[in-house]
């Protein structure tokens, strides 16, 4: 039985699955272009365990992660499939999780890259690489929004994108 005198937990998790970008209708990126991840979280989501207060952590319009409170810690896990086009040199991609305190400042370089990882992709026409990467995000006073960027050495198609957000609230 649940004790209704206890406040709702301020920790929890959500899981978003993008059903817009499929193998038949992927998100396309151009070689060597740093590209903001286009992620649609509105179709398939698991929010039963998100804790309190209810919150949408992903803004589909601006493709940004939105935290709740200063002092929170988040674990962001991103999963997707990427298929580079063509052959050529060994394909790779760079994945970046970035935060800023004001979207207007992004142009002036006032951002912080909290995770950057280079991943070697499967080589060969029609080969798909399954990617799963995680990053911890600690929300301080200057944390505004989080963005995810992908840069690929080749033109590429991305699909089956999923995002898991785990939240631990400050004590």
Q: Cα 134 vs. chain centroid, distance in angstroms?
A: 9
Q: Is 118 in contact with 160 (CB distance < 8 Å)?
A: no
Cβ atoms within 10 Å, residue 148: 23
Give the separation between CA 48 and CA 61, rounded to whole angstroms: 23
Domains of the chain plus CATH, in order, are: 12-168 (2.60.120.1120)
Q: Identify the pLDDT of residue 53.
A: 63
pLDDT tens sequence across 85-128: 876 678 899 999 888 765 554 555 566 788 889 998 887 777 89
Q: Is 90 in contact with 119 (CB distance < 8 Å)?
A: no
Q: Give 91-159 as a DSSP string.
A: PEEEEEEEEES-GGGGGGT-EEEEEEEEEEPPPSTT--EEEEEEEEEE--TT--EEEEEEEESS-EEEE
Q: Is 113 in contact with 96 (CB distance < 8 Å)?
A: yes
In this prediction the pTM is: 0.82
Identify the band that residue 24 occupies on the pLDDT scale cut at 50, 70 and 90.
very high
Give the separation between CA 136 and CA 76, rounded to whole angstroms: 6
Q: Which of 30, 142, 141 is nearest to 84 (CA)?
A: 30
Q: Which of 163, 153, 146, 140 is nearest to 86 (CA)?
A: 153
Per-residue pLDDT, averaged over 48-75, amounts to: 80
């Amino acid at each position: 039985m649940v004790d209704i005198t206890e406040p709702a937990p301020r920790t929890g998790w959500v899981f978003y699955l993008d059903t817009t970008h499929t193998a038949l209708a992927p998100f396309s990126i151009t070689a060597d272009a740093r590209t903001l991840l286009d992620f649609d979280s509105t179709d398939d989501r698991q929010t039963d365990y998100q804790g309190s207060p209810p919150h949408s952590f992903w803004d589909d319009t601006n493709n940004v992660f939105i935290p709740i409170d200063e002092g929170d810690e988040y674990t962001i896990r991103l999963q997707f499939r990427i298929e580079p086009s063509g052959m050529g040199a060994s394909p790779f991609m760079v994945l970046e999780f970035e935060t800023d305190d004001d979207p207007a400042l992004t142009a002036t370089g006032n951002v912080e890259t909290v995770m950057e990882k280079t991943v070697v992709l499967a080589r060969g026409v029609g080969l798909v690489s399954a990617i799963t990467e995680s990053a911890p995000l600690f929300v301080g006073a200057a944390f505004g929004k989080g963005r995810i960027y992908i840069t690929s050495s080749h033109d590429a198609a991305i699909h089956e994108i999923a995002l898991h957000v785990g939240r631990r609230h400050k004590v």
